[in-house]
Structure 1
Amino acid sequence: MMADFDQVLSCWSAVEADYTGIGGVVMTSLFQQYPDTQKLFPKFAEIPPDELAGNVAVAEHGAVLLRKLGEIVKAKGAHVAILASLATTHVNVHKIPISNFKLLKEVIIKVFAEKVGLDADGQTALSSVLDVVIADMDTNYKELGFQE
């Protein structure tokens, strides 16, 4: 498992170099591939699909997401405190079902393959890392009493 974190980190400088650009692609792709997810973001809910890609707020949210993901990946599995805080806000404030993180996982892997050249082995490593993160988030969700 540690090798998976290391493999993901080996491409992370490319992600850090363009958090906003890549983050915008992640969020836009999520909303276009899974339109129901856009409704979970009140400030983005009314943006027409053809205006998502150029929306500064969407890109900035994507950058926030990728910075947090970077923090989680750099923790190399020691992410309990990071996820506890994240789960609390996503349950109590945003009310985001855990299933949406699984959709996001697929989008992130595809975008990283396209935008930072993540090869097949890297995609497998990223998938494994995100599976652990999502499972740990799910544990937090259950502890917080969140039901989908």
Structure 2
Amino acid sequence: MSDYDKILKNWDAVEADPNGIGGEVLYGLFKEYPDTLKYFPKFAGIPPGDLATNPAVAQHGEIVLRKLTEILKARGNHAAILKPFANSHAKTHKIPTSNFKLITDVIVKITGDKGILDAAGQNAFRNVMSSMIAELDALYKDANFQG
């Protein structure tokens, strides 16, 4: 079974609640790695204690998970999706690729805690994200990202 199959076999649970799980992912990112909040200026005025229940955080988390789902469902054939994503995240949002490693850890934890990804699925997710982050690194270099 491929890494994508191991991830996608239960990913429908994420697709069924991208807003709820997405909110948990972003809140988990901000809680575990508070410095990442600086890359989300629209959340700057939200008190830390309110981030977990803020609808704007959940809405952005949904956007994150929907894009991730699109990339995962491409099963490695994602260049047409990844290139514009890399351009916007390098040039407009100025998000270092190291942040994708951090959000990977948060997604693994949350999907593991929820029983969405078992140990094999979590390992597969790490493998896929590691490869994708390496691709993002190359695309960022092509975009002359200095971060």
Q: Give the corresponding residue for 1:81.
A: 80
Q: Give the corresponding residue for 1:93.
A: 92
Structure 2, gaps ≥5 residues long? none
Q: Give the corresponding residue for 2:125.
A: 126
Report the Cα offset of residue 46 of structure 1. 2.2
In the alignment, the residues of structure 1 paired with residue 74 and residue 116 of structure 2 have an alpha-carbon distance, to the nearest angstrom, of: 23
In the alignment, the residues of structure 2 paired with residue 45 and residue 79 of structure 1 have an alpha-carbon distance, to the nearest angstrom, of: 32
Structure 1, gaps ≥5 residues long? none
1:32 aligned partner, one-letter code: K
Question: Is the Cα–Cα contact under 8 Å of residues 11 and 116 in structure 2 kept in the other structure?
Answer: no
1:59 aligned partner, one-letter code: A
Report the Cα offset of residue 89 of structure 1. 0.5
Q: Give the corresponding residue for 1:18.
A: 17
Q: Deviations over 1:12-54 (max 9, x none)?
A: 1110010000000000000011001011111012212110111
2:17 aligned partner, one-letter code: D
Q: Give the corresponding residue for 1:41.
A: 40
Q: Deviations over 1:107-137 (max 9, x none)?
A: 1111111124311111101111111111111
Question: Is the Cα–Cα contact under 8 Å of residues 3 and 127 in structure 2 kept in the other structure?
Answer: yes
In the alignment, the residues of structure 1 paired with residue 27 and residue 5 of structure 2 have an alpha-carbon distance, to the nearest angstrom, of: 27
Report the Cα offset of residue 147 of structure 1. 2.1
Q: Deviations over 1:78-97 (max 9, x none)?
A: 01111100001011110111
Residue 52 of structure 2 aligns to a residue whose secondary structure is coil
Q: Please give the TM-score of this superposition, normalised by the length of structure 2.
A: 0.96
Paired positions, count: 147
Within 5 A, what are the aligned runs for 1:38-77? 38-77=37-76
Q: Give the corresponding residue for 1:146.
A: 145
Question: Is the Cα–Cα contact under 8 Å of residues 19 and 59 in structure 2 kept in the other structure?
Answer: yes
Which protein has the bigger helix share? 2
2:3 aligned partner, one-letter code: D
Fraction of identical pairs, as percent: 54
Question: Is the Cα–Cα contact under 8 Å of residues 14 and 116 in structure 1 kept in the other structure?
Answer: no
